[in-house]
C-alpha cells in the first residue's frame, strides 16, 4: 500500500502531474508491446498474425476482431468461438466487403488472411480475447494495416529472366521501355528475358501515381555457380578437364532455400508458395535445356529440389506444372 501526503495545493498539483505522467508512460509501454504495423501492396495478400499475451492456464472463449466503422458504431468486425463453431463469423460485411477474401483457419485461431487487398482495407484491427471462467480486462493485440496503392517488387532472377510484379489495383497501367501501355487489373507479373525488352518499366495506378523499375536480362544461369571445382594434372604435366561435381548453380541454391523456408512454415502465403514452385520448375527446365548442358553438381542438387517440391505440394495441395515436373522426373531417371 502506498500513502501520499499532500502538504499543500502546489504539492498536490505536482503529484497529480507526476501520477498522470506515470500512468501515461506505463500505458504507452504496454500499448507498444501489443501493437505492430504491417505494410502490404494493393491487390496483394496479407497475413495478420495477432500475438496477444495469453492469460496462463485459461481457455480462450472468444476471439473478437474490431475495426473502426465510425462514431457511435459497433466496431466489431469478426468473431471466432471455438466451442460453438469452426467457422469465422463476419459482421457488417456490406461495409467491410471481405466476403471470399477473408480466410481463417481454426488451428490458427488468432490469425487472419486477407486476399486481394483494397485501399479500404487500410485500418486499425484489434483482437480482443475473452476467457472461460475468467473475469478481467480482455487481452488485446493491435495491427495497423497500411495498404500501398501502387507497388513494384524488387526483381529476382529466374533462369535468364528478371521477374517482378506490378501492383496497381483496378485500371492500372504498365508502361514498357518501348512506350507501349498494358492494362493492369490488380497486378501483373513482368518477365524480361532478352535484351530487346530490357529497360525502364513504369507501374502506375488509376490515379496516375507511378513507380519506375529498371529491368535487365539476367546473366546466363549456366554460368552462375557456387561451390568448389577441382582440376588435376596428368602424368605428362597437362591439365585434366575440371571436375564440377561439387558446384551448384546459384539460382538453384536460392530456390532450394526458398522451398526449405516454406517447409519450415516461414512462408504461408499460398500465392507466393505457388509462384515459388512454378518458378523453381521453370528454372530447372531452363537449366536442363541450356546449350551448355547441366553439370553433375546441378543434377545432384536437382534431385533434392524435386523432393522438396513434392513435400511442399503434398503439404499445401498446390497444383504444379505437370509437364515440367514430368520432364524433370524423366531426366532424373536417365
Per-domain residue ranges for the chain? 34-148, 151-215, 223-333
Q: pLDDT (tens digit, 9 = 90+) per residue, 261-316?
A: 788 775 667 777 887 888 788 777 776 665 455 666 777 778 888 888 888 888 77
**Structural contact between residues 189 and 156, judged by C-beta atoms closer than 8 angstroms:** no
* Packed helices 270-288 and 296-316: angle between N→C axes, nearest 10 degrees: 150
The position carrying cell 468473431 is 79
Residue 110 phi, psi (nearest 5): -100, 10
Could you name the CATH architecture of 34-148? Sandwich (2.60)
Q: What is the CA radius of gyration of the chain?
A: 28
- The overall average pLDDT reported for the chain is 79
For residue 312, the Cα-to-chain-centroid distance in whole angstroms is: 16
Look at residue 265 in the predicted model and tell me its pLDDT.
74
Predicted confidence (pLDDT) at residue 96 exceeds the cutoff of 80:
yes
Look at residue 159 in the predicted model and tell me its pLDDT.
75
**Structural contact between residues 275 and 321, judged by C-beta atoms closer than 8 angstroms:** no
* Cell, residue 232: 588435376
Helices and strands counted in the chain (H then E) = 6, 17
Closest alpha carbon to 230 in 238, 222, 241: 241
Burial of 167 from C-beta contacts in 10 A (0-12 / 13-18 / 19+)? buried
Beta-carbon contacts of residue 24 (< 8 Å; ≥ 6 apart) = none
Whether 151-215 and 34-148 are alike in CATH topology: the answer is yes
Task: Give the residue with greater pLDDT, 25 vs 102.
Answer: 102
Task: Give the residue with greater pLDDT, 292 vs 135.
Answer: 135
CA distances from 275 to 155, 282, 295, 319 (A): 14, 10, 25, 11
- Farthest CA pair distance, the chain: 104
Predicted confidence (pLDDT) at residue 233 exceeds the cutoff of 80:
no
Look at residue 135 in the predicted model and tell me its pLDDT.
84
**Structural contact between residues 216 and 198, judged by C-beta atoms closer than 8 angstroms:** yes
Look at residue 243 in the predicted model and tell me its pLDDT.
66
Beta-carbon contacts of residue 35 (< 8 Å; ≥ 6 apart) = 141, 142, 143, 144
* Packed helices 322-333 and 296-316: angle between N→C axes, nearest 10 degrees: 140
CA angle 14, 20, 23 (to 5 degrees): 140
Question: Among 148-162, 200-214, 260-274, 312-326, where is mean pLDDT lowest?
Answer: 312-326
| DSSP-derived 3-state class of residue 151 | strand
**Mean pLDDT, residues 243-267:** 74
**Residue 95 CA neighbour count, 13 Å, CB half:** 14
The alpha carbon dihedral of 255, 259, 262, 268 has a sign of positive
CA distance 79 to 65: 6
Look at residue 114 in the predicted model and tell me its pLDDT.
96
Predicted confidence (pLDDT) at residue 331 exceeds the cutoff of 70:
no
Look at residue 31 in the predicted model and tell me its pLDDT.
41
Split at pLDDT 50, 70, 90, the class of 8 is very low
Task: Give the residue with greater pLDDT, 247 vs 176.
Answer: 176
Split at pLDDT 50, 70, 90, the class of 257 is confident
**Structural contact between residues 146 and 37, judged by C-beta atoms closer than 8 angstroms:** yes
Task: Give the residue with greater pLDDT, 17 vs 188.
Answer: 188
Beta-carbon contacts of residue 293 (< 8 Å; ≥ 6 apart) = 222
CA distance 125 to 66: 6
CA distance 224 to 252: 10
**Mean pLDDT, residues 44-50:** 96
Question: Among 28-37, 41-50, 223-232, 318-327, where is mean pLDDT lowest?
Answer: 318-327
Predicted confidence (pLDDT) at residue 101 exceeds the cutoff of 80:
yes
Predicted confidence (pLDDT) at residue 112 exceeds the cutoff of 70:
yes
Could you name the CATH architecture of 151-215? Sandwich (2.60)
Amino acid at each position: 500500500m502506498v500513502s501520499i501526503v499532500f502538504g499543500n495545493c502546489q504539492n498536490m498539483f505536482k503529484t497529480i502531474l507526476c501520477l498522470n505522467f506515470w500512468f501515461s508512460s506505463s500505458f504507452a509501454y504496454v500499448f507498444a508491446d501489443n501493437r505492430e504495423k504491417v505494410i502490404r501492396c494493393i491487390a496483394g495478400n496479407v497475413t495478420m498474425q495477432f500475438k496477444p499475451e495469453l492469460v496462463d492456464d485459461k481457455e480462450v472463449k472468444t476471439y473478437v476482431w474490431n475495426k473502426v466503422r465510425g462514431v457511435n458504431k459497433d466496431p466489431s468486425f469478426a468473431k471466432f468461438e471455438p466451442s460453438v463453431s469452426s467457422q469465422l463469423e463476419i459482421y457488417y460485411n456490406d461495409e467491410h466487403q471481405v466476403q471470399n477474401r477473408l480466410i481463417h483457419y481454426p488451428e490458427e485461431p488468432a490469425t487472419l488472411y486477407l486476399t486481394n487487398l483494397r485501399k479500404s482495407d487500410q485500418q486499425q484491427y484489434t483482437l480482443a480475447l475473452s476467457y472461460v471462467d475468467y473475469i478481467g480486462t480482455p487481452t488485446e493485440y493491435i495491427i495497423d494495416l497500411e495498404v500501398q496503392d501502387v507497388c513494384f517488387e524488387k526483381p529476382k532472377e529466374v533462369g535468364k529472366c528478371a521477374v517482378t510484379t506490378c501492383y496497381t489495383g483496378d485500371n492500372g497501367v504498365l508502361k514498357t521501355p518501348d512506350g507501349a501501355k498494358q492494362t493492369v487489373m490488380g497486378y501483373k507479373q513482368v518477365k524480361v528475358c532478352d535484351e530487346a525488352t530490357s529497360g525502364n518499366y513504369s507501374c502506375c495506378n488509376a490515379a496516375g501515381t507511378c513507380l519506375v523499375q529498371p529491368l535487365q536480362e539476367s546473366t546466363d544461369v549456366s554460368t552462375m555457380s557456387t561451390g568448389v571445382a577441382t582440376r588435376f594434372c596428368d602424368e605428362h604435366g597437362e591439365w585434366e578437364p575440371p571436375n564440377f561435381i561439387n558446384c551448384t548453380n546459384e539460382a538453384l541454391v536460392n530456390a532450394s532455400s526458398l522451398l526449405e523456408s516454406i517447409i519450415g512454415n516461414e512462408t504461408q502465403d499460398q500465392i507466393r508458395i505457388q509462384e515459388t514452385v512454378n518458378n523453381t520448375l521453370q528454372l530447372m527446365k531452363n537449366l536442363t535445356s541450356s546449350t551448355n548442358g547441366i553439370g553433375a553438381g546441378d543434377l545432384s542438387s536437382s534431385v533434392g529440389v524435386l523432393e522438396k517440391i513434392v513435400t511442399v505440394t503434398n503439404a499445401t495441395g498446390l497444383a504444379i506444372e505437370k509437364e515440367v515436373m514430368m520432364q524433370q522426373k524423366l531426366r532424373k531417371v536417365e
